[in-house]
Every structure is written in structure tokens, then in C-alpha cells.
């Protein structure tokens, strides 16, 4: 390839790096592709670091050593997170969302790519230092959010099924009790899905009593693996005593008042 | 904000545009955010157009008129698509994928964010000129691919369920006959999910006889909407006569020979 100008190299760098978040690219990869000197590339990377920091577009990090290189981290600034959360709360509190039985219609939000993209970035940002090997979710509604979280963490997504499927080969099945309905439910995951001794992040759209999470923790034990973190979009205030204690919840749902058509919710993150 | 340098503006432009593919941003949006003259921004955009074209990083387009502005189109070059397809075929043809009954284990591929990202880009590129309003899929395995396609088309994702759920309000349910198993199956979609007179793109991971697609076409009629396109990752060669005629299939599966451990498949796109 002919020599590129600095403008061109910087644009290509940020595009390629941010298309594969949390993925280390060697300096040589770019030196060869851009047909430039390593010192020139180093200058480009330093410039780019400054640009993304100044404009709050995430972070560009260099890693030294044999496995070293440069990668893009999709962190969001505090103000941006505040704004996303505020928009989410406003949208989720629209009274027209109330369904009979006090349920909330929210698939238009949790299947909306640009909303889900933001939530995935926030979740990934929370757990990016935890050395997560897989993002795990249970079908169906949490899949888009889990998918974007996995994308930003640069790890595979695992979807636990409600029953075993012929297309997944031999599977591990467990039964567990749903905390809210007290009913027995089943989870199924292909034996091939997860390597032993893995750390997983569980992601879901909604958590009430935490029964599903407890089921996932048990299922992961069958794979000799561990739930290292739990991230949910919405958790309910009640019951206060859940099956699990530590989790990251973006929004807390206090109450849905069907009679008065009021949805009472608030951000689950405190900003100092 | 203090004045930015050209380097900084170009890096921010490509990052912001490609983070929200197929979304029109007004020139004023950037003029205000970058604190620069409109003529300066126009020069930046022209420069960026050249850069992404030269480096095959997609396309930057300007739209004139009142609703005009600039947007990023995530098209992939022919060589890149060829390479993605070739890698996919190699990976899918690994004999260890053969499950009892001649099924293929492929969730590790269709849940892998970086693979799914590429497939979503290819699907979106095929249908970006079709004025699609929604991407529709049926739970579960096609969801990640459908999600990324929706992201690159910048339209909402719709997930059709296998039965009606209390969290989706009143729903439209239809029964249809699976082409391969001849069994009666159900599809359910919330009444709120789709606006009348919409055009949808149906996305799935696998198609055999096309019964599911026919079910979706029928379901969309209930919403006075139309299936404008069909995109699947893999379709089987047999039966040659499917319930539907026109579809875009990335890979054609000729045969799975369980005895000989051979998976015979080929790219579904012809490159001149």
C-alpha cells in the first residue's frame, strides 16, 4: 500500500480498534498495513490516546511486552452514563407500559440496538478488569443486552436454554425454584459450551427474587466454573432479601401502581 | 469546547458516525460540538470520505436537503466478505461439529460477537437500500445475528416468541406447519411490537424447508406488514423446493455425512 498520511492513519486506527473493542492488536499489524515506521505509528497512537481522552470517546491503551500492542476500551464518561440512565428511566416510566398484572412492557427498549449498545458498554465498563471469560444469559429477553456486553468485553456469549435441544448435543440440565413464582424451572446448557475453570458474567434484563441467578450459579458449578459478576438492567426493590447479595443493577424498580398508573423507578448507580 | 485540530475532528467524526451506523447526523451537530466553521467541517467530511473509501472501511455519505447531514454505511469490500465466508466455511466444516442425527453444533460460532458482527454487516449491506423498518427473528439461535443486522441497519429488532408471554401484553398468535418435521408450531408477537404498513427483514441462523419463514410472512400479514427480505446464515440444499423462493443465504449446506464424518458446504454468494 502507498504511504498514508497522519490523518488517514489516525482515522483507520480508531475505526479498526473500536470495531473490535478490548482486542489487542500488535504494533506490527499496523506497521505492515499502513506501510509506516514503528516510531511513526507510536506517535499516532500517542496522539490518538489524547484525542479519545479529550473527547471522552473511550480509552486507547498500550500494553508492553511480548504479547503487547494497542487496544480500545469502550468506557463511557460519567456524564454520558448519567444521561443514558436518565433517558432510560424517563422512557421506562411511561404509564402506557403498564400491563395487566402490574408487568412492564419493555421489549421496545431492550431490543432497540442503540439503547442496548449503550447498556452493553456500561456493563462491560463495570467488569472489564475482572478477567471475564464468557457472558452468560438465559433465553430470551436478556439476549440482546448480553450480546452487546459480550461484544464490548470481547468474549463469547453463552445462551442457556429452557430445555435441551437436539442441535446442542449432550447437555447439562438442572432444575431450580423461581424465587417469585416458587415454580420449578429447568435450565439446559450444552456440555461443549463452557471450558472448565472459567469466570463468567451473568447478564439479564430483569431480576426479582434472584432465583434465576442462583440457578445459573449452580449450573456453572456443573462446568467447574464460577459466576464472577451479575449485571441486570432492572431489579425490583422487593423482595429486599434476594437469593443473592452482590449484583450490579442499572435501574431499581420500586413499585408499579396499576390503579394509579404510576411506575416508580430510579437509577441504580450513585454518582458522587 | 476549545478548537480542535483536524486530526482530532477526523478521529471523532469516524468514531461517532461508525458507532451509530446508518444514522444521519446534521452538520450543525458537529459544528457545535467541535466549535468549528461549517466550511471546515465540510472539508473534514470530504477528507474522511476519501479515507474510508481508500482503506475499505465502509462508506461515509452526505445527504443534502432539509433532513440532510452525514452518515456512515458499514459496507464491506468484496475481498473482506470472501475472507469472512471462507473462514466461516472452514470452521463450520470441522467434523467434530457433527451431532447424533446429523445435526451441526454451531452455537459457538453464531454466539461469537466478532463473527456475528461480520455476518450482521454483510446482511445489512445486502438490504441497506430496501428501506427496512424492522429486523424480525424467531427465538432463540438467530437472535445475536438478527441483533447485529438491526444495529447496522439502525432499525429496531423484533423477537417472535414460541408462546405468548405475560410481559408482552396482548399478542397475535399463529399456528404453522414446520416444513421439515411437519409438526404444528406456534408463533406469538405482542400487538404493540410492529406498526402497520411496515417492511421487515427476516433473519435466522438456519433454514431447511422454509416453513418458519412462511409462518413469519403470515404473522406479518396480521400486522398489515410485509416481509421485504429474508437473510439466513445457512440454508440446506435439500429440499430444493422450499416454501419460499427468494432468500439471501450466506452458506449452502449440501450434506452432513454422519458415517464418514464429512460436512459438505459452500458459500452461498457468487463472486465474479
State the smallest CA–CA distance between residue B77 and chain A in angstroms. Answer: 15
Nearest to A14 among B11, B23, B55 (CB): B11
Render the burial of B194-208: b for 16+ CB within 10 Å, e for the rest.
Answer: beeebbbbbbbbbbb
- Give the predicted TM-score (pTM) of the model: 0.95
State the smallest CA–CA distance between residue A7 and chain B in angstroms. Answer: 6
Q: H-helix or E-strand containing A213?
A: helix A211-222
Matching residue, cell 395487566: A100
State the smallest CA–CA distance between residue B154 and chain A in angstroms. Answer: 7
CB atoms within 10 A of CB A235: 21
A102 phi, psi to nearest 5 deg:
80, 15
Class of CATH domain A6-73: mainly alpha
Chain A residues in contact with B116 (beta carbon < 8 A): 147
| Test the A interface: residue of B22, B36, B111 with most A CBs within 10 Å | B111
Q: Give strand pairing partners of B206.
A: B234
Mean per-residue pLDDT of chain A: 94
Chain A residues in contact with B192 (beta carbon < 8 A): 105, 108
Matching residue, cell 438442572: A174
Report CB contact under 8 Å: A99, B167. yes
Q: Taking 80 as the threshold, does the pLDDT of residue A2 lie above it? A: no
Per residue in B1-21, pLDDT (tens digit) is: 678 899 999 999 999 999 999
Mean per-residue pLDDT of chain B: 94
Q: B75 and B41 in contact (C-beta within 8 Å)?
A: no
Nearest to B11 among A4, A48, A150 (CB): A48
Give CA separation, B122 vs A60, A263, B19, B81, B119, in Å: 27, 40, 17, 7, 5
Q: How far apart are CA A188 and CA B178, in angstroms?
A: 24
Per residue in B198-244, pLDDT (tens digit) is: 999 999 999 999 999 999 999 999 999 999 999 999 999 988 888 88
Nearest to A117 among B6, B99, B151 (CB): B151
Nearest to A111 among B8, B16, B158 (CB): B158
Q: Provide the residue ranges of all domains of chain B, joining segments of one domain with +.
A: 6-73, 78-267
Chain B residues in contact with A193 (beta carbon < 8 A): 107-108
Q: How far apart are CA A269 and CA A3, in angstroms?
A: 47
Q: How far apart are CA B271 and CA B78, in angstroms?
A: 8
Q: B13 and B72 in contact (C-beta within 8 Å)?
A: no
Q: What is the DSSP letter of A96?
A: G
B28 phi, psi to nearest 5 deg:
-60, -35
Over residues A38-59, mean pLDDT: 94
Report ipTM for this prediction: 0.95
Q: Taking 70 as the threshold, does the pLDDT of residue A252 lie above it? A: yes
Give the 3-state secondary structure of residue A202.
strand
Over residues B93-120, mean pLDDT: 96
* Confidence band of A1 (pLDDT split at 50, 70, 90): low
Chain B residues in contact with A47 (beta carbon < 8 A): 7
Nearest to A103 among B15, B108, B166 (CB): B166
- Distance between start and end Cα atoms, chain B: 50
Q: For strand B98-99 and strand B199-207, is the pairing parallel, antiparallel, or unpaired? A: unpaired
Per residue in A70-95, pLDDT (tens digit) is: 999 998 989 999 999 999 999 999 99
Closest-CA residue in chain B for A138? Answer: B140
Over residues A167-177, mean pLDDT: 92
Per residue in B39-86, pLDDT (tens digit) is: 999 999 999 999 999 988 999 999 998 878 999 999 898 999 999 999
State the smallest CA–CA distance between residue B136 and chain A in angstroms. Answer: 11
Nearest to A8 among B51, B116, B139 (CB): B51
Q: What is the DSSP letter of B97?
A: G
Per residue in A18-36, pLDDT (tens digit) is: 999 999 999 999 999 999 9
Nearest to B99 among A99, A159, A169 (CB): A169
Q: B136 and B216 in contact (C-beta within 8 Å)?
A: yes
Q: What is the 3-state secondary structure (H, E, C) of A97-129?
A: HEECCCEECCHHHHCCHHHHHHHHHHHHHHHCC
Q: H-helix or E-strand containing B263?
A: strand B262-267
Q: How far apart are CA A76 and CA A250, in angstroms?
A: 14
Chain B residues in contact with A19 (beta carbon < 8 A): 18, 117
Report CB contact under 8 Å: B108, A193. yes
Work out whether the CA dihedral B113, A146, A143, A90 comes out positive or negative: negative
Chain A residues in contact with B111 (beta carbon < 8 A): 147, 150, 156-159
Instruction: Report the largest interatomic distance among the alpha carbons of chain B, rounded to a whole angstrom.
Output: 69
Nearest Cα to Cα of residue A226 among A185, A189, A196: A196
Q: How far apart are CA B55 and CA A13, in angstroms?
A: 11
Burial of B234 from C-beta contacts in 10 A (0-12 / 13-18 / 19+)? buried
Nearest to B47 among A4, A7, A192 (CB): A7
Per residue in B120-169, pLDDT (tens digit) is: 999 999 999 999 999 999 999 999 999 999 999 999 999 999 998 888 99
Chain A residues in contact with B14 (beta carbon < 8 A): 11, 14-15
Chain A residues in contact with B19 (beta carbon < 8 A): 18, 117
Q: How far apart are CA A21 and CA A61, in angstroms?
A: 11
Give CA separation, A202 vs A134, A137, A252, in Å: 9, 6, 18
Q: Which of 3.40.50.2020, 3.30.465.10, 3.90.15.10, 3.40.50.970 is the CATH number of A78-267?
A: 3.40.50.2020
CB atoms within 10 A of CB A247: 17
Question: Does B78-267 match B6-73 at the fold level?
Answer: no
Please name the residues in contact with B126: beta carbons below 8 A apart, sequence gap of 6 or more.
Answer: B229, B231, B248
Burial of A183 from C-beta contacts in 10 A (0-12 / 13-18 / 19+)? exposed
Report CB contact under 8 Å: A105, B167. yes
Size of interface A-B (CB pairs under 8 A): 173
Report CB contact under 8 Å: B156, A111. yes
Report CB contact under 8 Å: B151, A112. no
Per residue in B168-202, pLDDT (tens digit) is: 999 999 999 887 778 899 999 999 999 999 999 99
Q: A120 and A148 in contact (C-beta within 8 Å)?
A: yes
pLDDT of the residue at A178? 81
Chain B residues in contact with A113 (beta carbon < 8 A): 147, 150-151, 154-157
pLDDT of the residue at A104? 95
Closest-CA residue in chain A for B163? Answer: A140
Report residue A260 as a C-alpha cell.
Answer: 394509579
- The angle formed by the CA atoms of residues B142, B214 and B118, to the nearest 5 degrees, is 25
Amino acid at each position: 500500500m502507498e504511504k498514508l498520511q497522519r490523518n488517514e492513519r489516525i482515522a483507520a486506527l480508531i475505526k479498526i480498534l473500536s470495531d473490535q473493542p478490548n482486542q489487542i492488536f500488535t504494533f506490527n499489524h499496523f506497521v505492515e498495513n499502513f506501510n509506516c515506521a514503528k516510531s511513526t505509528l507510536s506517535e499516532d497512537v500517542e496522539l490518538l490516546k489524547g484525542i479519545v481522552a479529550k473527547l471522552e470517546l473511550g480509552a486507547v491503551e498500550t500494553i508492553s511486552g511480548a504479547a503487547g500492542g494497542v487496544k480500545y476500551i469502550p468506557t463511557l464518561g460519567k456524564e454520558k452514563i448519567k444521561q443514558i440512565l436518565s433517558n432510560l428511566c424517563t422512557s421506562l416510566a411511561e404509564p402506557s407500559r403498564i400491563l395487566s398484572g402490574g408487568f412492564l412492557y419493555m421489549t421496545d427498549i431492550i431490543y432497540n440496538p442503540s439503547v442496548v449498545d449503550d447498556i452493553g458498554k456500561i456493563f462491560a465498563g463495570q467488569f472489564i478488569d475482572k478477567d471475564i471469560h464468557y457472558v452468560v444469559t438465559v433465553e430470551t429477553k436478556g439476549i440482546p443486552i448480553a450480546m452487546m456486553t459480550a461484544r464490548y468485553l470481547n468474549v463469547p456469549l453463552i445462551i442457556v436454554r429452557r430445555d435441551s435441544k437436539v442441535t446442542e448435543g449432550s447437555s447439562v440440565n438442572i432444575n431450580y425454584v423461581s424465587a417469585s413464582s416458587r415454580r420449578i424451572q429447568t435450565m439446559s446448557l450444552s456440555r461443549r459450551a463452557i471450558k472448565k475453570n472459567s469466570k463468567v458474567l451473568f447478564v439479564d434484563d430483569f431480576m426479582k427474587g434472584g432465583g434465576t441467578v442462583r440457578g445459573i450459579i449452580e449450573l456453572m458449578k456443573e462446568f467447574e466454573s464460577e459466576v464472577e459478576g451479575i449485571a441486570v438492567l432492572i431489579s425490583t426493590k422487593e423482595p429486599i432479601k434476594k437469593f443473592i447479595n452482590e449484583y450490579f443493577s442499572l435501574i431499581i424498580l420500586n413499585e408499579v401502581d396499576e390503579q394509579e398508573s404510576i411506575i416508580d423507578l430510579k437509577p441504580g448507580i450513585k454518582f458522587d
